[in-house]
Amino acid sequence: MKVLLTGAAGFIGFHLAKSLISYGYDVVGLDNINDYYDTNLKKNRLNILNSIGMSFVKGDLSNTELVNSIFNNTKLDYVIHLAAQAGVRYSIDNPFEYISSNIVGFQNIIEGCRIKGVKHFLYASSSSVYGLNTKIPFSENDVTDSPASLYAATKKSNELVAFTYSHLYGLPSTGLRFFTVYGPWGRPDMAYYKFVKNIINGDYINVFGNGKMYRDFTYIDDVVNAILKLIPVIPKIQGLGSVQTEIYNIGNKKPHSLEYFIETIEAKLNMTAKKIYKDIQSGDVFSTAADNKKLKKITGDLKYTDLKTGISNFVDWYKDYYL
Task: Say whether 165 is catalytic.
Answer: no
Q: Of 37, 151, 219, 248, which is the active-site residue?
A: 151
How far apart, in whole angstroms, are the C-alpha atoms of residue 304 and residue 84? 25
Closest listed residue to residue 44, CA positions, set 233, 317, 244: 317
Q: What is the DSSP letter of 242?
A: T
CA atoms within 13 A on the CB side of 203: 8
The rounded distance, in Å, linking the Cα atoms of 203 and 11 is 25
Smallest CA-to-CA distance from 230 within 140, 120, 113 is with 120
Alpha helix positions (H), 74-142: 90-93, 95-98, 106-116
Residue 224 sits at φ, ψ, to 5 deg, of -60, -45
Query: 78-81 and 55-58: which strand pairing?
Result: unpaired
Alpha carbon distances (Å) from 294 to 119, 131, 220, 287:
22, 20, 20, 20
Residue type at position 134: T
Residues in CB range of 291: below 8 A, 6 or more apart: 137, 138, 139, 140, 249, 253
Burial of 66 per CB tally in 10 Å (0-12, 13-18, 19+): middle
Instruction: Collect all residues with Cβ–Cβ distance below 8 Å to 117 and sequence separation of at least 6.
Output: none
Return the active site residues: 151
